[in-house]
Amino acid sequence: MGKSIQMKKNEVTILGAGLIGSLMAIYLKRQGLDVSIYDKRPDKRKTPYSEAGRSINMALSHRGWKSLEQVGLKEKVEPLAIPMYGRKVHDEHGGTKFIPYGKAYQAIYSISRGKFNQLLAEEAERLGAVINFEHKCLNFDFRNQEIKFETPEGEKEFVAPVVIGADGAYSTLRMAMQKQIRFNYKQEYISHGYKELTIPATASGEFAMDPNALHIWPRGKFMLIALPNPDKSFTCTLFLPFEGSKVCFEKIQDEHDLEIVFTNYFDDAYKLMPDLKTEFFKNPTSALINVECYPWVQDQSLLIGDASHAMVPFYGQGMNCGFEDCSILNGLIDKLGTNSWGLVFEKFQKKRKPDTDAICQLAMENFVEMRDSVADPKFLLRKRIEAKLHELYPNDWIPLYTMVTFTDISYAEAYAQGKIQDAVMNKVMADPLITENWNKLDYEDIINKMETAKAV
Ligand SMILES: Cc1cc2nc3c(=O)[nH]c(=O)nc-3n(C[C@H](O)[C@H](O)[C@H](O)COP(=O)(O)OP(=O)(O)OC[C@H]3O[C@@H](n4cnc5c(N)ncnc54)[C@H](O)[C@@H]3O)c2cc1C
């Protein structure tokens, strides 16, 4: 194919029709802008394809809902979402304990990635965005603003004055930025990987467990979790170290090894997983990556979503955070207009980077809480004391999980406040008689200690 350099003058080019690229397109169409999206995947409506290795369902929480509400999609998404009001912790003997996420009405929502993505992409199209499937971005040349794609018809190239890279954790736009000077980039694969498995509906077509909870089997260095689906099945995710531990992916070589691990550690779940042996050896084992980089802007190009801040999934915030990126960027466009994209993008990255650093860090830290601490009775007591503090002093003490999941307090502020509260709670919990005395605690004194620590 010959090179034909076309100029897409007033158009915003979005790379990636994933969750974030599609929502960004919706915001921009509502601003009255011309938007073209390019995705390497085929159009699912024409060519079904496997999404093996991607999470099947995910937790949608306040920040995500807020963005959906802004673009008028809350009502359309609600029927796809199942509320989960807390964690249901399964011990090794089949016993369970329910730990609410917040107040009785507060929930995070399980939603299928595929259906949700489809809804957002179709909404973007309905508003007039053009989605070009099977367009794999190969490179972006910042000097000439030329973008190059591989398509079934051969390579295509055009000049794209404004580009938003929402092309995920392995972003091509970010890779092009890495070749520019003074671009900082850090990636880390954690020692654990994950594999998705299923608990199907029962023979009578019902959920096999409570559908309004996120189920966790915390086992110290590893864990299993399960989220409900509208077809009454649960998608389970098994998080194990890749290698080097007594229980790790490397040591599960055959059905016998698998059975030993599941009967020893997840027996109640095992009994509900008739297809475990087939699924385990068929489904991929996927890696978990944390990506931090800066700047996110090069001239009139910007990275958003996982392309700029891919995080491990243990706070359930990657998508929610990406949606909040879209909302904040839209707010800046409202304020500054679109005559100077460079300025809008610059303001965006300055505002947002401390927040995404904070949530990436929190996501790493929450892994220990999920796989280990939730099984500790002291952890439950700590949660109870914090809930009481929040009840008595709703504006002064907001548990960290609540700040992150049920408010839009900036992630950086939540992180800083969370560290202060954590230090105060460590002292409270250090009392050897706390289990007996917790009901007699001087809650006002705890608040005063927190305020003093904050002032320092
Ligand atoms: C196991 C797991 C569980 C998770 N659970 C949650 C959760 O409960 N809650 C939550 O909020 N988040 C969760 N996340 C995080 C969430 O999945 C991501 O944050 C979210 O998908 C990011 O969306 P994105 O659009 O930025 O990237 P992606 O979803 O990766 O989409 C990127 C798009 O870009 C396209 N693309 C990539 N490269 C190119 C290219 N070169 N050219 C053209 N197109 C390209 C891809 O085809 C894709 O469509 C989880 C992640 C994992 C791994």
Rounded CA gap, 238 and 241, in Å? Answer: 10
Residue 13 confidence class, pLDDT cut points 50, 70, 90: very high
Using a 6 Å cutoff on CB, does residue 61 contact ligand 1?
no
Query: Could you read off the pLDDT of 416-445 as tens digits, one per residue?
Result: 999 999 999 999 999 999 999 888 999 999
pLDDT at position 50 is 64
Pocket test for ligand 1, best of 26, 131, 167 (most atoms within 8 A of CB): 167
pLDDT at position 9 is 58
Contacts of 358 (CB under 8 A, 6+ apart): 410, 411, 412, 414, 415, 416
Pocket test for ligand 1, best of 14, 19, 170 (most atoms within 8 A of CB): 19
Using a 6 Å cutoff on CB, does residue 58 contact ligand 1?
yes
CA-proximal residue: ligand 1, atom 41 (nearest): 137
What is the whole-number distance in angstroms between the Cα of residue 53 and the centre of ligand 1? 11
- Which ligand 1 atom is the nearest neighbour of the CA of 58? 8
How many other CB atoms sit within 10 Å of the CB of residue 349?
A: 18
Query: Could you read off the pLDDT of 217-246 as tens digits, one per residue?
Result: 999 999 999 999 999 999 999 999 999 999
What is the whole-number distance in angstroms between the Cα of residue 380 and the centre of ligand 1? 32
Query: Could you read off the pLDDT of 183-217 as tens digits, one per residue?
Result: 999 999 999 999 999 999 999 999 999 999 999 99
Query: Could you read off the pLDDT of 297-317 as tens digits, one per residue?
Result: 999 999 999 999 999 999 999
Residue 397 confidence class, pLDDT cut points 50, 70, 90: very high
pLDDT at position 454 is 87
Rounded CA gap, 271 and 43, in Å? Answer: 38
How many other CB atoms sit within 10 Å of the CB of residue 27?
A: 23
Rounded CA gap, 77 and 256, in Å? Answer: 42
Residue 121, token pair as written in the block: 């992409």
Q: What percent of the chain has pLDDT over 70?
A: 96
Whole-number Cα distances in Å, 451 to 164, 189, 227, 286, 363:
42, 37, 38, 43, 26
Q: What are the sequence ranges of the domains in the chain?
A: 6-82+111-187+291-366, 188-287, 376-455
pLDDT at position 172 is 98
What is the whole-number distance in angstroms between the Cα of residue 306 and the centre of ligand 1? 6
Reference 20, options 145, 107, 83, 113; nearest CA is: 113
Residue 2 confidence class, pLDDT cut points 50, 70, 90: very low
Residue 44 confidence class, pLDDT cut points 50, 70, 90: confident
Rounded CA gap, 287 and 395, in Å? Answer: 39
CA-proximal residue: ligand 1, atom 15 (nearest): 318
Tally the C-alpha atoms within 13 A of residue 345's C-alpha that lie toward its C-beta: 21
Please tell me the least confidently modeled range out of 6-10, 193-197, 330-334. Answer: 6-10
Pocket test for ligand 1, best of 14, 55, 164 (most atoms within 8 A of CB): 55
pLDDT at position 53 is 60
- Which ligand 1 atom is the nearest neighbour of the CA of 317? 11
Reference 262, options 210, 211, 219, 213; nearest CA is: 219
Confidence check: pLDDT of 114 > 50: yes
Domain 6-82+111-187+291-366 sits in CATH 3.50.50.60? yes
pLDDT at position 1 is 41
Pocket test for ligand 1, best of 39, 87, 238 (most atoms within 8 A of CB): 39
Confidence check: pLDDT of 10 > 80: no
Using a 6 Å cutoff on CB, does residue 322 contact ligand 1?
yes
What is the whole-number distance in angstroms between the Cα of residue 169 and the centre of ligand 1? 7
- Which ligand 1 atom is the nearest neighbour of the CA of 172? 41
CA-proximal residue: ligand 1, atom 50 (nearest): 313
Cis geometry, peptide bond prior to residue 295 (ω within 30 degrees of 0): yes
Residue 404, token pair as written in the block: 């992150």
Sequence letter at residue 213: A
Rounded CA gap, 67 and 391, in Å? Answer: 27
Reference 96, options 380, 382, 394, 367; nearest CA is: 380
Using a 6 Å cutoff on CB, does residue 16 contact ligand 1?
yes
Length reported for the chain: 456
Is the Cβ–Cβ distance between 240 and 248 less than 8 Å? Answer: yes
What's the pTM? 0.96
CA-proximal residue: ligand 1, atom 2 (nearest): 55
Using a 6 Å cutoff on CB, does residue 193 contact ligand 1?
no
- Which ligand 1 atom is the nearest neighbour of the CA of 318? 19
